[in-house]
A and B are shown apart, each in its own frame.
Chain A
Amino acid sequence: MTARSRMIASIAAVVLIAGVAAAFAVAWRPAIAAIDPPAAGSFDPALVKRGRELAAIGNCNDCHTVRGGASFAGGLPVPTPFGTIYSSNITPDPETGIGRWPEAAFRRAMRSGVNREGQHLYPTFPYDHFTHVSDEDDTALYAFLMTRPAVRAPTRENQLPFPLDQRVVVAGWKLLFLRRGSYQPDSTKSAKWNRGAYLVEGLAHCGACHTPRNGLGAERPNAAFAGGDVDNWQAFAINAQSPAPIPWTADALFSYLRRGWQADHGTARGPMAEVVSNLSSVNESDVHAIATYMASVFGAPSPDRVKQGEAVLAQAKLPATETPAAPANATGAAIYAAACATCHETERALPYGGVHLGLSTALSSPDPRNAANIVLSGVRPVAGERSPIMPGFIDSMNDGQVTALLKFLRGRFSNQPAWNDVEKTVAEARRTQAVFLQTSPGQNNAPADATQREKP
């Protein structure tokens, strides 16, 4: 070996060692020592109560509960473009849950997506948002979770291909996409707006569904709230690109998020049904704050859009008329008249009558998925409560008939161009809705407003 080649070899070795050391520094996280599970009585009840509300805002139970399973015991399969990830058990069970986690471990998981043992967590757990949650709120969330009934439920093995099944790759993802830091208030905005921004960008993690993701599964920061995907539902754009026929206002948002429905927009369904079910149980002022912030994200609608919305609303309030069936789609028109119009074109107001479909965002949206999902599976009732309900037609309509219906609805109730590939969407919706309905835990709470609940 010449001196020259020796030198190259030693430089290569140094670079390699430095690289490994750097990778190690990026990826390695120490374990945090296990503790004996703290007694439930050791937590201040007021703190636990606060934690309960925060957990509802964070929608924790929705992912960490599987249909038929115990609350917070995990096991929900979360389909991603990379494979299926199973939610974990966050009850205080010492062996299969977080019973042996000290608060510091919980805070580290929220802040940077690392479990007590020091392994990286997949970003299906939205720590890219939870990293903004304050210490104080993490403390309350910890107190709440540690006082739930401990449930023995081992977390299921994820179904991921190599190398994604190696948790160390998540360290690279974090390097690229995890932006830590507490929420910085905007002093030019109201306290309410700032409170809303803190919740929406942090714990409520609205963008996790409503912001589109890049090829590596990270939210695209320059497309915030421009619409995303979840469980084969389209999470609508909730910024200026919103496809809602009537522009959203802070009041309408509050009412929708709090009660689960709003007269000019309709009823929350799909994964959003569980979100509003949770929001029905929290402090009203936090829902007001979220609505205030989100109204500013939507932005003030243009005068044109306002005028269009008013026209749609006026149309929807006209008495029901016979549908002039386009001969090309007599099937769709007839299905609508017989199966849909009895609820969707009556004097019965929301939530117990159907929304006039001219107001439906699903029909004005560029993607027919949500409309297909809802025709197939309907709106499930909330157990033991009065709530909006719609029968699903999955067993009585074939794909061709659902397709005909959707094409008719799009033509009759939106001013948007016809959808493409409706048939394919319907077939896909039939396949995925069956899975979603079997695994999703469903709503626990009624549409919130108790005064409305008593109304017919």
Chain B
Amino acid sequence: MMTLKVNGRDHEIDADPDTPLLYVLREDLKLNAAKFGCGLGQCGSCTVMVDGKAAFSCVTPLLLLEGKQITTLEGLGTIDKPAPIQRAFMEEQAAQCGYCIAGMMMRAQALLQRNPKPTDAQIRAEMEPNLCRCGTHMRILRAVHRAARLMDTADASPAVHGSAQ
């Protein structure tokens, strides 16, 4: 048994220490935002935040997560009360099939927590590990810029779970 801190709550997890975080999130905790894409840390659809930094949950075994704060998309906002990053992606209609989008939002969120006003070049460099097969990259870029502006306004402060420590 180990304690896993996800979205600000402690969960008792009964799994082998080498189990990838993604499996535990989806199968044990039923948090299905993070997706299984390649399982090799090459596509980014499984991206979550660990202590405020983007990580591929498919190649992050549980034993690396002792005492760390994990944030998934569910921890940022809800359908009724979407977080700025989610609002921005919706307003820019950045999703086509949507499979990559949860990972995109998590990596963008990690970037914006660290650097609230990234340049276009910085966003491109940061988002490089996350792939989108539909080709909505230009909308995703716009959405990240929009999220930065939304977060800058007082009424839309970002969720704080797992902010950098």
User: Interface on A for B, CB 8 Å cutoff?
Assistant: 68, 331, 334-335, 337-339, 342-343, 381, 389-391, 393, 395-397, 401
A334 touching B61 in the complex, CB below 8 Å, given contacts A391-B129, A395-B54: yes
Measured CB to CB, the nearest residue on chain B to A68 is: B121
B157 within 8 A of A: no
B60 within 8 A of A: yes
Interface residues of B in 92-112 (CB under 8 A from A): none
Q: Which residues of B contact A335 (CB under 8 A)?
A: 18, 61, 63-64
Given contacts A339-B64, A343-B40, 11 further A-B contacts (CB under 8 A): A334-B63, A335-B64, A337-B61, A338-B19, A339-B59, A339-B61, A390-B41, A395-B53, A395-B54, A395-B55, A401-B64
Q: Is the CB of B42 within 8 A of A391?
A: yes
Q: Which residues of B contact A396 (CB under 8 A)?
A: 50, 53, 55-56, 60, 64
Q: Which residues of B contact A391 (CB under 8 A)?
A: 40-42, 56, 59, 129
B84 within 8 A of A: no
Q: Is the CB of A342 within 8 A of B39?
A: yes
User: Within the complex, what minimum Cβ distance (angstroms) separates B4 from chain A?
Assistant: 14
Q: Which residues of A contact B129 (CB under 8 A)?
A: 391
User: Within the complex, what minimum Cβ distance (angstroms) separates B108 from chain A?
Assistant: 15
Q: Which residues of B contact A395 (CB under 8 A)?
A: 50, 53-55
Q: Which residues of B contact A337 (CB under 8 A)?
A: 18, 61
Interface residues of B in 40-74 (CB under 8 A from A): 40-42, 50, 53-56, 59-61, 63-64
User: Within the complex, what minimum Cβ distance (angstroms) separates A65 from chain B?
Assistant: 16
B interface residues, how many (CB within 8 angstroms): 21
User: Interface on B for A, CB 8 Å cutoff?
Assistant: 17-20, 39-42, 50, 53-56, 59-61, 63-64, 121, 128-129
Q: Which residues of A contact B61 (CB under 8 A)?
A: 334-335, 337-339
User: Within the complex, what minimum Cβ distance (angstroms) separates B19 from chain A?
Assistant: 7
Q: Which residues of B contact A393 (CB under 8 A)?
A: 59
Measured CB to CB, the nearest residue on chain A to B19 is: A338
Q: Is the CB of B128 within 8 A of A334?
A: no
Q: Is the CB of B56 within 8 A of A334?
A: no
User: Within the complex, what minimum Cβ distance (angstroms) separates B106 from chain A?
Assistant: 12
Q: Which residues of B contact A338 (CB under 8 A)?
A: 18-20, 59-61, 63
Measured CB to CB, the nearest residue on chain A to B121 is: A68
* Listed A/B pairs (22) with beta-carbon separation below 8 Å: A334-B18, A334-B61, A335-B18, A335-B64, A337-B18, A337-B61, A338-B60, A338-B61, A338-B63, A339-B60, A339-B61, A342-B39, A342-B59, A389-B42, A391-B59, A391-B129, A393-B59, A395-B50, A395-B54, A396-B55, A396-B56, A396-B64
Q: Which residues of B contact A339 (CB under 8 A)?
A: 41, 59-61, 64
Q: Which residues of A contact B42 (CB under 8 A)?
A: 389, 391
User: Within the complex, what minimum Cβ distance (angstroms) separates A336 from chain B?
Assistant: 9
User: Within the complex, what minimum Cβ distance (angstroms) separates B48 from chain A?
Assistant: 10
Q: Which residues of B contact A334 (CB under 8 A)?
A: 17-18, 61, 63
User: Within the complex, what minimum Cβ distance (angstroms) separates A218 from chain B?
Assistant: 37
Most chain B Cβ neighbours within 10 Å, of A335, A339, A393: A339
User: Within the complex, what minimum Cβ distance (angstroms) separates A435 from chain B?
Assistant: 16
Most chain B Cβ neighbours within 10 Å, of A337, A339, A343, A396: A396
Question: CA–CA, A68 to B59, complex, Å?
Answer: 30
In order of increasing CB-CB distance, the 5 nearest A-B pairs are A338-B61, A391-B41, A338-B18, A395-B53, A334-B18
Q: Which residues of A contact B64 (CB under 8 A)?
A: 335, 339, 396-397, 401
User: Within the complex, what minimum Cβ distance (angstroms) separates B10 from chain A?
Assistant: 20
Question: CA–CA, A307 to B102, complex, Å?
Answer: 51
Q: Which residues of A contact B121 (CB under 8 A)?
A: 68
User: Within the complex, what minimum Cβ distance (angstroms) separates B63 from chain A?
Assistant: 5
Measured CB to CB, the nearest residue on chain B to A380 is: B128
Q: Which residues of B contact A68 (CB under 8 A)?
A: 121
Q: Which residues of B contact A397 (CB under 8 A)?
A: 64
